[in-house]
A and B are shown apart, each in its own frame.
Chain A
Amino acid sequence: MRTGMLNWRNYRYGKWALLLGLFSIALYVSQGASPAQPPNGGTWQGYVLGTIGALLILWLSVLGVRKRSYSSSAGTVQGWTSAHIYLGSVLLAVATLHCAAQFGWNVHTLAYVLMCLVIFSGFYGLYVYVHLPDRVASNIVDRDRAAWLEELGKLDQRIRDVAAGSDAQLQGMVLSALELTRLGGNLFQQLRANDRSLVQEPGGGKPVSNAEQSVLIETLSRRIPDARKQSEAETLSELLSLFGRRQVILHLLRRDIRLKGLLKLWLYFHVPLTFALLAALLVHILSVFIYW
């Protein structure tokens, strides 16, 4: 079996996290349930859980530094990531037991909520890291994006050359389809991967959607049986096959952009939320000590 982040060193940190979780539960239960002193962050057990949680949060955020300390010989980034995942997950339990599910409209609960957001965004990140690489690889079929873009460039050049032999109306339409092809766009558009390509139809008017090159493919396939000359039919057939290939490549590139975007997107939540959490955590700890 391939060694990924989860099964690193035979789930070493998974086991650690499990032990830490069990320990936290035991600690929580040892608080008893007397009405005079219900379990909360104020008991010594609560303090221990809180300290473990705060240290965990600090250590978990250090991954961002370790990942970039390229000369460090303190373990490998893969090991750190594996530990980050498991210990980050168990933090949910540790912190919940620490606060004993006492929530309110205050900075303490804010810290808790931020922590949950960080952890859940991390779960999402884990999901995409585990599932998307295979999809990226199978989508792009053993070539890199630059190679596909190069083929697209050559294809477009060939389309221009072939279209030069067709009538002005079709040529205009073909060239507008090339011109008005849309790939990428802003973040939202990249992630939606919606084909916003347009084409200018003969006779003016506003350009209409040419998603998946469908208008061109339909027009060309409709005109081939009507072709009067053999040379015209040949030109149209070649254009049809060129646009067929173009449709495939554009679709593939759009998916590639989308998938690679998804692989990065979650970090734009996970990391800033972490900073917010660290700030809220600091306020939480200070205020607890000030209002002791």
Chain B
Amino acid sequence: MPLDYRIAIVGAGPAGLSVAGRAAIYDAETGASTPSYVLLEGHTTFAKTIQKYQKGKHVMDEPGFLQLRSEVPFAAGKREEILGAWDNSIGGGLNVRYNAEVVGIEGEKGNFTLRLASGDSVTAENVVLSIGTQGNPRTLGVDGDAESDFVLYTLDDPEDFKGETIVVVGAGDAAIENAIALSDFNTVYIINRRGEFSRAKDGNLNAVLAAINDRDRAFHCRYESSVAAVELPDAPGETGAIVLNTPGGEERLECHRIIARLGTVPPRRFVESCGIEIGSASADAVPDVDRHYQSNVPGLYVIGALGGYPLIKQAMNQGYDVVEFIHGKDTRPADYPLLQDQFSGLPYVMDAEDILELYQQRVPMFKRMNPLAFRELIIESRITVSLPAEELARAPQGGERSTVFVAAGEPVYRNGEFSTTFFTLVEGEVRLQLEQDGPWHQIKPGQFFGEMSLLSGRPRQGDAIVERDSILIETPRRVMVKLMNSNEEVRQGIDRVFIMRALQAAFRPAMSLEELALVADQVQTCQFAAGEVLFTEGETGDCLHLIRSGTVVLSQGGTELVVAQLHSGELAGQMALMGAPLRRNTATAAVRTETLRLGREQFLALVNSEPEHISTLQGELSQLLQYTNSMASQPEAARSIGFLMEQGMGEATNALVIDTSLCVGCDNCERACAETHDGISRLDRESGASLASLHVPVSCRHCELPHCMKDCPPDAIRRAASGEVFITESCIGCGNCETNCPYDAIKLSYSAPPKPGLWSWLLFGRGSGPGEPAGFTPTAESKDVGKKAVKCDACMGRPGGPACVRACPTGAAIRMGPDQFVELVEAR
């Protein structure tokens, strides 16, 4: 039996559209009478993620360095323009089938059967999965629950509905936010399957309870209720009903609309049901595919966000390429020129694809990596070549993405520098210190370094000096984290070296690497959430913790009395192994913390191998004891440190603190911030917590491992070598960083309109004066560009330092890192 299609594409997002666009060109060239491909979309329309964006949202086309290769157009612009262009492409004759949700894929290359939710099936030789990572909304699970005007699974704009009775089903954040927004103009019922709103964020929990109790608001809740049936309206515009199973029996609610927000079914289970393997259990893990985007199931291809490429342009390029591959053309991917550029300064004449292969073989840890993932790693990395000083001057200066030349014998990073990139040595030699002024270690080709800062976010410890004719791959933290999340082997490899080097740095053992590896294998890695206790005052201890990332606070006589804070690379609880086993203080993780737990046996093995180092350890311990003792005798200071730690300052590197006994409330700090940052203040002086004349205003504290950098699609958030975390121009305004920041320090904002200068305000009163204008109206131009994320950049590069501090007339505004907290609280 002949198959229906050569290619079946699942998911009509940008990637899927691009596949269809290219396949259609092939059809036109061969003059096929029926399409050789079908684009199956479970929803009623294409590109539903982008359709859900707010009206007029500016969609960016990062990464800027990559060229678009697709038959379907795409350039940065308004949501409507982009959707309109795609609609035109579809109208030009793409074979799209809507409402065709694929629920199962069976078969093998050359003979796949795709089962649809409607019961139909489609057969195809090859399948391209481009379903993204959003997943499909969970349905009500009763008759009549298909998406319609009456039953909605998304809500674009609450103001679309007025004067209606609307039933919102669900108890998560989305359901609560929708229900509250709708209740401004409608009567709303929210249906909760449980007896409380336990899944919601605190803010939403309080808001929904307030709304339910608010007598002036038509907002009702049905607890412990499930949906028994849906009665569709007879004609559009009339009311239908929903039937509920409530603890008091069945209840029928007549309504104009039902909005179900029951979360989504993540695509992972579906993907695995097709036979595709996902290497790691981590939620961010992506399926392994080869250079042609083919999964472990031959003939089944994975592209776009599902394959780990969340940006529209990348996904569309892959869509084009995958059709080429299916048609047997081994085209060079769109990123080939980028690769060439990166390798341009290497001292050999070789094709970029061959160099790529060579390098992968050189590094044991990367050897078994998926070639596509390795390619991505290289494209996101910088290739660095070291040259003697006299040759360096003659070296060609390439573009931003070309090979980087550095002077041999010079550091690639220095002690104390903030950088979290990861270095892999492919040729030559690097000399490495593990702590400031520590002994030198040699790094040979195939080995890597820089994993300490990668994992802990702390500044570099010790220098790394590159010898002549060395070649290094420098990979950004973001790319390494993604790799470690999806590749267990790489994660373990890095982890193991991290532990060994951490032990070397802390104990300087005189043992061979093999012996050290044996000890390292016995060391246990522990994770603690903020507030979790490592050990408690008064108990008997038999281990110590070497802090790997995060901050641990020691408290004595009550957890709010903090007598010391310890950071990565430092030891906690060593007293139990070096003196009395009775714990003298309680150790608590101030922020999310990872430690290496060493028992007596491992500790003794390490220190006995190098008895000379014991006196150093004893010296450090006695210093810590003197210090904790002094803090314990100043409960007020200890309490203030405890307060700062409670505010998450343990992970800060550069935070604004206001001494309220000096602050006159003039807000000159906020104005200075706005005036030096495009009219938008990045700090809110008055809000934030206070204790005993210390106030922590809402503003960025430049965390050790910035939460905001976790999930930035265009990689717009960077950290300078001097530690400032800042947002570059490539921000696409997605709001991930705003959500991820636990300290509310990032906001999305239009750029402020220009203002008359200072003198025309001073002399003639023109304009609103210095500072962020209250409730300004953005210009049409800035509305076009859209909101972008703004946050404090600690006035990076500004002579004299942070404007907020420099503008404070009384000296109340202070910026500092955790090291200075003690000075601050002891001074009062």
Identify which of B283-291, B427-435, B586-594, B682-690 touches chain A. Answer: B682-690
Contact for B691 among A78, A132, A142, A263, CB less than 8 A? A142
Write the nearest CB–CB distance from B802 to chain A, whole angstroms.
10
Q: Are A137 and B806 in contact (CB under 8 A)?
A: no
Set of chain A residues within 8 Å of B663, measured between Cβ atoms:
133, 137
| A186 interface residue (CB < 8 Å to B) | no
Q: Quick check: is B439 within 8 A (CB to CB) of the other chain?
A: no
Shortest Cβ gap from A49 to chain B (Å) = 29
The distance in angstroms between the C-alpha atoms of A128 and B668, with both chains bound, is: 17
- B693 close to A134 (CB less than 8 A): yes
| Residues 63-77 of A contacting B (Cβ, < 8 Å) | 64-65, 67-71, 73, 76-77
List residues of chain B with CB within 8 A of the CB of A64: 762
**When chains A and B are docked, how far (Å) is the Cα of A64 from the Cα of B762?**
9
**B812 with A133: CB separation less than 8 A:** yes
CB < 8 Å: which of B661, B693, B810 contacts A78?
Answer: B810
Interface stretch of the complex, out of B178-186, B462-470, B670-678: B670-678
CB distance from B758 to the nearest CB of A (A): 6
Question: Is B665 within 8 A of A2, CB to CB?
Answer: no
Does B203 sit at the interface, judged by CB under 8 A? no
How far does the alpha carbon of A64 sit from the alpha carbon of B812 in the complex, in Å? 19
Q: Interface majority SS on B: helix, strand, loop or mixed?
A: loop
Is B689 a contact partner of A142 (Cβ separation < 8 A)? Answer: yes
State whether A2 touches B686 (Cβ < 8 A): no
Nearest residue (CB) in A for B770 is A68
Which of B660, B676, B758, B812 is in CB contact (< 8 Å) with A65?
Answer: B758
Question: Are A143's CB and B809's CB within 8 A?
Answer: no
Scan B434-476; emit 1 where CB is below 8 A from any A CB, else 0: 0000000000000000000000000000000000000000000
Pick the residue among A3, A68, A146 that contacts B758 (CB under 8 A): A68
Alpha-carbon distance A78/B803, docked complex (angstroms): 12
Q: Which residues of A contact B662 (CB under 8 A)?
A: 2, 4, 133
We find that the number of chain B residues with CB closer than 8 angstroms to chain A is: 40
Tell me whether B664 is interfacial, beta carbon within 8 Å. yes
Residues of A within 8 A of B695 (CB): 137
- Complex formed: what's the CA distance from A145 to B690 in Å? 12
A8 beta carbon closer than 8 Å to chain B: yes
Whether a CB of chain B sits under 8 angstroms from the CB of A260 is: yes
The minimal Cβ–Cβ distance linking A63 to chain B, given in whole angstroms, is 9
Chain A, 218-252, CB within 8 A of any chain B CB:
none
Name the contact of A71 in the complex, choosing from B664, B671, B675, B827 (C-beta under 8 A).
B675
Q: Is A1 part of the binding interface, using a Cβ–Cβ cutoff of 8 Å?
A: yes
Cβ-based interface call for A129 (8 A): yes
- A70-B675, A146-B687 known; A263+B808 contact, CB < 8 A: no
Interface residue? A217 (CB, 8 A) = no
A142's closest neighbor in chain B, by CB?
B690
Please tell me if A144 contacts chain B, counting CB pairs below 8 Å. yes
Q: Answer whether A4 and B811 are a contact pair too, CB < 8 Å, given A68-B770, A137-B661.
A: yes
Assembly CA distance A142 to B658 (angstroms): 12
Q: Which of A4, A69, A73, A142 has the most CB of B within 10 A?
A: A142
Interface centre among A67, A70, A76 (most CB of B within 10 A): A70
Decide yes or no whether A121 CB sits under 8 A from chain B. Answer: no
A204 to B688, CA, bound (A): 45
Query: Does A5 lie at the interface of the complex (its beta carbon under 8 Å from any beta carbon of B)?
Result: yes
Q: Report A-chain residues with C-beta under 8 Å of the C-beta of B625.
A: none
Which residues does chain A contribute within 8 Å of B672, judged by CB atoms? Answer: 70
**Is A48 in contact with chain B by the CB < 8 A criterion?**
no
Q: Are B686 and A146 in contact (CB under 8 A)?
A: yes
| Cα-based distance from A70 to B801 in the complex (angstroms) | 11
- Whether the Cβ atoms of A145 and B807 lie closer than 8 Å is no
Partner of B811, one of A78, A132, A263: A78
Distance A81 CA – B806 CA, assembled complex (angstroms)? 11
Chain A residues closer than 8 Å to B800, beta-carbon distance: 73, 76
Q: Does B269 contact A (CB under 8 A)?
A: no
Q: How far is the CA of A70 from the CA of B674 in the complex (A)?
A: 9
Output the least CB separation between A163 and chain B (Å): 13
Q: With both chains docked as a complex, state the minimum distance between the C-beta of B770 and any C-beta of chain A, in angstroms.
A: 5
- Closest-by-CB residue of A relative to B799 is A73
The answer, yes or no, to whether A136 is at the interface (CB within 8 Å) is yes
Interface residues of A in 141-188 (CB under 8 A from B): 142-146, 161
B809 & A77 in contact (Cβ 8 Å cutoff): yes
Determine if A77 and B827 form an interchain contact, defined as CB atoms under 8 angstroms apart: no
Asked if B828 and A2 sit within 8 Å, CB to CB, the answer is yes
Q: List 10 A-B contacts (CB under 8 A).
A: A4-B811, A67-B807, A68-B762, A68-B770, A70-B672, A71-B798, A78-B811, A133-B660, A134-B661, A142-B690
Query: Interface residues, chain A, CB within 8 Å of chain B?
Result: 1-5, 8, 64-65, 67-71, 73, 76-78, 80-81, 128-129, 132-134, 136-137, 142-146, 161, 260, 263
Point out residues on B near A: beta carbons under 8 Å.
215, 659-666, 668, 671-672, 675-676, 686-693, 695, 758, 762, 770, 798-800, 803, 805-812, 827-828
Given A70-B803, A137-B661, A144-B688, 11 extra CB contacts under 8 A: A4-B662, A4-B811, A67-B668, A71-B675, A76-B800, A77-B807, A134-B660, A137-B660, A143-B690, A144-B686, A263-B665
Report the 4 A-B pairs with minimum CB-CB distance, sorted nearest first. Answer: A137-B660, A70-B675, A73-B800, A142-B690
